[in-house]
C-alpha cells in the first residue's frame, strides 16, 4: 500500500461517504494497520479511512490506555442505540490546532466486524463513546463542526483558517 497521510479540512474526500466492506482481505488488513500507525504517530484517539484518503467503512480508535487494552479496529461499524447527552471539548486530526465543545451522546451501543469478520458488540460511554460517534460521522462524510451552531461554526473555522495562515509556506 502506498504511503498514506492525513487529509485536512477542506479536502473534499472528508465529505465523501465510505463504502461498506464486503469481505476482509489484505487491502482491509493493510489499511487498518497503516491507520493504527498514523493515529499513533499523530497521537490521535481515532482515525477514519477517508481521513487518510480511502473510502472504506473502516475506523480505528486507540491511545486510551485507561479504557482500551488494545486499539479497536472497527469495520462496518453501526450505532444501534444511545443514551443521554453531554457536551465536551473535542478536536480532529483533520482540523489541526482547533477544538471546541461538541454535544454528543453519553453512551452508545455499537456493532462492528473485527479483522476475523466476527460481529462484535460494544457498549461505550464517556470518551470512548465520543470517539465512536466522531469516527462514524467521518465515515458518513460528517465533520465535527457540523454539530455546532452557525455562529460557533464560523468562529471555529475562522480560527482554523488563521492558524493555517501562520504556518510557513514553501
**Positions marked active-site:** 135
Closer of 51 and 76 to Zn ion (Cβ): 51
Closer of 24 and 44 to Zn ion (Cβ): 44
The rounded distance, in Å, linking the Cα atoms of 99 and 145 is 9
Please report whether residue 131 would count as binding Zn ion according to CB under 5 A.
Answer: no
Smallest distance, Zn ion to C-beta of residue 29, A: 23
Q: In this chain, which residue has its C-beta nearest to Zn ion? A: 92
Please report whether residue 45 would count as binding Zn ion according to CB under 5 A.
Answer: no
C-alpha pair distances (Å), 160 with each of 32, 63, 75, 154, 157: 28, 25, 30, 10, 5
Please report whether residue 139 would count as binding Zn ion according to CB under 5 A.
Answer: no
Please report whether residue 59 would count as binding Zn ion according to CB under 5 A.
Answer: no
Please report whether residue 14 would count as binding Zn ion according to CB under 5 A.
Answer: no
Smallest distance, Zn ion to C-beta of residue 44, A: 8
Quick count: other Cβ atoms within 10 Å of Cβ 103?
A: 11
Smallest distance, Zn ion to C-beta of residue 94, A: 5
Closer of 24 and 73 to Zn ion (Cβ): 73
Task: Give the helix, strand, coil percentages of the chain, each rounded to 5.
Answer: 35, 30, 35
- Near Zn ion in 76-95, by CB under 5 A: 92
The rounded distance, in Å, linking the Cα atoms of 60 and 75 is 9
Closer of 24 and 36 to Zn ion (Cβ): 36
Please report whether residue 4 would count as binding Zn ion according to CB under 5 A.
Answer: no
Where does the chain show beta strands of DSSP type E?
46-48, 58-61, 72-91, 99-113, 119-125
Smallest distance, Zn ion to C-beta of residue 119, A: 25
Q: Say if residues 86 and 124 touch (Cβ distance below 8 Å).
A: no
Binding site for Zn ion (CB under 5 A): 92
Amino acid at each position: 500500500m502506498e504511503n498514506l497521510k492525513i487529509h485536512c479540512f477542506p479536502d473534499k474526500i472528508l465529505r465523501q461517504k465510505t463504502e461498506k466492506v464486503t469481505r476482509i482481505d489484505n487491502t482491509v488488513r493493510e489499511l487498518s494497520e497503516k491507520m493504527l500507525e498514523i493515529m499513533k504517530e499523530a497521537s490521535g484517539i481515532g482515525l477514519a479511512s477517508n481521513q487518510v484518503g480511502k473510502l472504506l467503512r473502516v475506523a480505528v480508535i486507540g491511545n486510551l490506555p485507561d479504557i482500551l487494552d488494545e486499539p479497536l479496529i472497527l469495520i462496518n461499524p453501526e450505532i444501534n442505540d444511545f443514551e443521554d447527552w453531554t457536551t465536551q471539548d473535542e478536536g480532529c486530526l483533520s482540523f489541526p490546532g482547533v477544538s471546541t465543545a461538541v454535544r454528543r451522546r453519553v453512551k452508545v451501543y455499537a456493532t462492528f466486524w473485527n479483522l476475523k469478520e466476527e460481529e462484535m458488540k460494544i457498549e461505550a460511554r464517556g470518551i470512548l463513546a465520543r470517539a465512536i460517534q466522531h469516527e462514524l460521522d467521518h465515515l458518513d462524510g460528517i465533520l465535527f463542526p457540523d454539530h455546532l451552531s452557525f455562529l460557533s461554526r464560523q468562529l471555529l473555522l475562522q480560527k482554523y483558517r488563521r492558524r493555517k495562515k501562520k504556518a510557513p509556506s514553501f
